[in-house]
């Protein structure tokens, strides 16, 4: 499985394939799952003002917070873009995912530092509830789930 070399999280392409599998499993088993979309606020602006090694340290710090707060062997996490991360939490109800989202957001602001900079994350949560009919997961379902989580992040 390809990993992002900087964060050691899944790549976007790998995550999209795995997310489609999670939707299919949810349909088959009737278990909901949640996703968390995390984006660093103002990252692109800061990226122009800080050295690369400091920006890399911020991204690694965010990835470390994510890895520490997800369930090993159950939840999956990926770096989706320059400053964006996604977590899939199979079998997690929305309330539990919202708790984890708040925890990750707090840890990022408390632990991830750069000189003269407060790192803040916007976090959105969405829950996938399987429809009653069985069908293969569509790309549209996966895209919609990510869109809802992104919208809830406030970005």
Q: What is the pLDDT of residues 10-57, one digit of tens each?
A: 999 999 999 888 888 887 888 888 999 999 987 766 556 778 888 899
**Inside any domain, residue 1:** no
Q: In this model, does residue 137 exceed pLDDT 70?
A: no
Q: Does the structure show a pLDDT above 70 at 134?
A: no
In a domain, 146, yes or no: yes
Residue with tokens 């809830």: 152
Residue 62 lies in a domain: yes
Q: Does residue 113 lie in a domain region?
A: yes
Residue 44 lies in a domain: yes
Please work out, in degrees rounded to the nearest 5, the angle formed at the alpha carbon of residue 11 by the alpha carbons of 20 and 113: 125
pLDDT at 114 over 70: yes
* Between 1 and 68, residue with greater pLDDT: 68
Write down the pTM of the prediction.
0.85
* Rg, C-alpha atoms of the chain: 16
Domain that holds residue 81: 12-152
Could you tell me if residue 2 is inside a domain?
A: no
Report if residue 5 sits inside a domain. Answer: no
Question: Which residues, in sequence order, are CB contacts of 82 under 8 Å at separation 6+?
Answer: 43, 44, 47
Q: Is residue 65 part of a domain?
A: yes
CATH number at residue 20: 3.30.70.270
Backbone angle region of 79, left / alpha / beta, with phi > 0 → left and psi within -120 to 50 → alpha: beta
Domain count of the chain?
1
Round to whole Å and give the CA distance between 69 and 22.
19
């Amino acid at each position: 499985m390809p990993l992002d070399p900087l964060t050691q999280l899944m790549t976007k392409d790998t995550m999209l394939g795995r997310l489609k599998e999670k939707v299919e499993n949810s349909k088959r088993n009737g278990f909901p799952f949640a996703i968390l979309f995390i984006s660093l606020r103002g990252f692109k602006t800061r990226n122009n003002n800080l050295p690369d090694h400091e920006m890399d340290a911020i991204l690694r710090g965010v990835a470390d917070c994510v890895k520490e707060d997800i369930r090993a062997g159950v939840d999956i996490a990926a770096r989706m873009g320059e400053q964006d991360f996604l977590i899939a939490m199979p079998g997690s109800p929305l309330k539990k995912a919202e708790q984890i989202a708040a925890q990750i957001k707090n840890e990022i602001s408390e632990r991830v530092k750069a000189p003269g900079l407060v790192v803040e994350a916007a976090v959105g949560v969405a829950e996938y509830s399987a429809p009653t009919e069985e069908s293969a997961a569509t790309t549209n379902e996966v895209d919609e789930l990510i869109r809802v989580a992104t919208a809830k992040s406030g970005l």
